[in-house]
Amino acid sequence: MADTAARLLAERGYQATSFSDVIAASGAPRGSIYHHFPGGKDELVELAVRRQADRVIGLVDGVAG
């Protein structure tokens, strides 16, 4: 779900991306998103951004190393 959220956020932006969009695009059951992200959309966005940042750091480290 976090990877799907990251993709949708990049495509649509924060305001235009909803939990429903993430559920539809990821194929995850509706209840699972609320179970894994009880803090709501902001919690999901935080994880999605953190994962993307980790990927970028890994790429930079790979190039620099």
Distance from C-alpha of 21 to C-alpha of 13, rounded to nearest angstrom: 12
Topology annotation, domain 2-64: Arc Repressor Mutant, subunit A (1.10.10)
Residues near 43 by beta carbon (within 8 Å), at least 6 away in sequence: 37
- pLDDT tens per residue, range 41-55: 999 999 999 999 999
Q: What ranges do the domains of the chain cover?
A: 2-64
The answer, yes or no, to whether residue 64 has pLDDT greater than 90, is: no
- pLDDT tens per residue, range 9-23: 999 999 999 999 999
Handedness of CA 28, 25, 19, 47 (dihedral sign): positive
Average pLDDT of the segment spanning 13-40: 94
Given pLDDT bands bounded at 50, 70 and 90, which one contains residue 25? very high
Average pLDDT of the segment spanning 35-41: 93
- Flag whether the pTM goes above 0.85: no
